[in-house]
Each structure stands twice: as C-alpha cells, then as structure tokens.
Amino acid sequence: MRWFRFAVIIVVATVLQTSLVDVIAATSADIKPDLLLILLVFFAIHSDPTEVVITAFATGFAADIIGSTMGPQIISFGVFGTLLADLHRVIALRKKFYQALGIFVTGFLTSALVFLLAFLAAEPIAANAYTKLFWTPLYSAILGPFLFLPLNWLMSIKKQRGRRY
C-alpha cells in the first residue's frame, strides 16, 4: 500500500466532500454522493485484508471530521469496511454492477449503524435521515464504479527508475 498516496486521496476526498460535492447535488433534497464511502469500498476491494482495517478506520475518521459528532462514522466504516474485505475473499467484486451493489449495501448499513449509535447516545436524528439512509448510497453506487478506474490508476503508479548505463 502506498500510504502517502492514500493519505492525499483521503484529504482531497474530504475537502471535495465538504465543498464541491454540493454542486452535483441531485435535487433540492440535498442528495449528493458520499466520496468517502466510495473510497471505503474501493480500498476494501483493492487492498490486502490487513491494510483494509487501517484504511476503513482512517476513512471513517475523515467522515467523522465532516460530520457533527465524533465516533459513529469511524465505528461503522471500520466494522463494515472490514466485513466487506472479508466478504471480498469469498465473492469477487470485479464487475461494475457488483461494485455498485457493494457501495449501496455498505452505504445503507453504515448509515443505519450511524443512526442507531446516534439514537443510543440520545442525539437528535437529522431530518434528512431517509436521504442519508437510501438516496445517498444509491447516488454513490451509481457514481462509484466510474471513479474506481482513476483511483486504481492513482494507487498503482510506479516510480520509473533511471536506466543504468
């Protein structure tokens, strides 16, 4: 794993999630893709299982920085990112349809766990809970597999060595 590239991609995705993703919001209901969810599924599919734990919790930490409370996203991203990596050992998610399905299911489950943890902590649940539970994972699932190709290219760039004469 190229950890410096991973860190740069996470920081760029976090900045884009807070600023430029509002431009591509689908309706007035503020339906927008979750770039960090897409990155979670990408790294769960394309990384070693031991590295997925670190990438999942780091992505969840970045999602918590964006959110209003600290903790629920890091737990849900860590748990479901690790489970997705274990599931990937059994079922290969190589086709775009299966990748989109993986993004949608992971987004739905992470959002459900975040709302459950917020409920248990007696925090107020957002008014757009249905949007975060269903529409955001769906929009992310539609956009996600198309972002996998440039992400795969970015993570696999190799440094060219000089020729020996």
Q: What is the pLDDT of residues 53-75, one digit of tens each?
A: 999 999 999 999 998 778 899 99
From CA 33, how far away is CA 142, in angstroms rounded?
A: 9
pLDDT at 159 over 80: no
pTM of the model: 0.90
The 10s digit of each residue's pLDDT in 77-120 is: 999 999 999 998 888 888 999 999 999 999 999 999 999 998 89
Would you say residue 164 lies in a domain? no
pLDDT score for 71 = 87
Which phi and psi angles does 82 have, rounded to 5°? -65, -40
Would you say residue 113 lies in a domain? yes
Contact 131, 31 (CB under 8 A): yes
Structural domains counted in the chain = 1
Would you say residue 165 lies in a domain? no
From CA 54, how far away is CA 38, in angstroms rounded?
A: 16
Would you say residue 13 lies in a domain? yes
Contact 106, 41 (CB under 8 A): yes
124-150 mean pLDDT:
89
The residue length of the chain stands at 165
Q: In the 3-class helix/strand/coil scheme, how is 83-134 assigned residue by residue?
A: HHHHHHHHCCCCCHHHHHHHHHHHHHHHHHHHHHHHHHCCCCCCCCHHHHHH
Residue 132: count other Cβ atoms within 10 Å of its Cβ. Answer: 21
Would you say residue 143 lies in a domain? yes
Would you say residue 163 lies in a domain? no
pLDDT score for 57 = 96
Residue 162: count other Cβ atoms within 10 Å of its Cβ. Answer: 5
Q: Which domain holds residue 138?
A: 3-21+32-155
